[in-house]
Amino acid sequence: MATGSSAKTAQKKSGDTVKKPVFNDHLFLGGIEGILRANEMMQQGEDRDDSAAYWDALGTWGATLDNPYQEEFESAVDAINSFEAWLVLSNWHYAAPILYTAKGFTVTMTMNAPSGQISVSLDGEVSPGIELADAIKEAKKDLQQAISAAFPRTANKPDTNSKNGKSGAKKSTTKTEEVSYELLRVVEFNGKLMPRLIPTEGKWIQFGIPLYQDIADKFEIEIPDEPGDYEMSGTMIYELKEDGKPKRVTEISPD
């Protein structure tokens, strides 16, 4: 009896092997990116090629395999499923490398004094368990207070009354003081917003010193449209009334 291949099915030659499908690397890498973005493990708008989290996840997962993932799996879909399962089971999260440890810091402030402009610096060490930002903020406050105590400023300014182009015979003196301030407070009174600069220390820290719009405009200070406390610091000069109470801010030197 004769045997042989039929017309419909070719007889496979001895030694022939089934070809392994080509691994779609583009599909795989895009799938990994989609998984990480869906889990918010990549920053919004971050490019895949520049993402440290993306490549760290891929490398960490790849280290668990016996072979390169292109050889370990039959298809990109199988590799993506393996990666997603690993991500859930391992509870992986990207941890940025620690490039330095902040042991100290320097705060520098510049201000105008009667003798001219001065700059003062304060070196500090971060206490254990304290955030660097909190340490800097506290050191800045202490430095402002030290400067204010070291360079109190009281000046007399002549008040000249002009009439018909001539100076009036009567002159009065206006006393001023210079202090540091730590915030801008906007309060509402009778339907109007009233901004005030709050000193870092002294008798007027509760109610502050009135800041009028002309002075704010002169020193390019933008007054907020809503009541509240707003972070702002520096030094200011303000006028005193005859009874010794503050009248208004006249000069501002923001940090």
pLDDT at residue 154, as a whole number: 44
pLDDT at residue 96, as a whole number: 82
Q: In sequence order, what are the beta bridge partners of 167?
A: 162
pLDDT at residue 248, as a whole number: 93
Grouped pLDDT means (10 residues each) for the chain, 255 residues: 44 55 91 93 88 93 93 93 94 84 82 68 86 86 78 49 48 79 86 89 86 90 88 90 89 88
Token pair for 66 = 């016996």
Token pair for 231 = 């972070």
Contacts of 154 (CB under 8 A, 6+ apart): 175, 176, 177
Residue 48 burial (C-beta neighbours within 10 Å; 0-12, 13-18, 19+): middle
pLDDT at residue 162, as a whole number: 46
pLDDT at residue 116, as a whole number: 63
Place of tokens 């993306």: 54
- Stated as kind and residue range, the H or E segment containing 119 is strand 116-125
Strands 166-167 and 246-254, bridge-based pairing: unpaired
Residue 176, classed as helix, strand or coil, is strand
pLDDT at residue 6, as a whole number: 42
Residue type, 170: K
pTM: 0.38
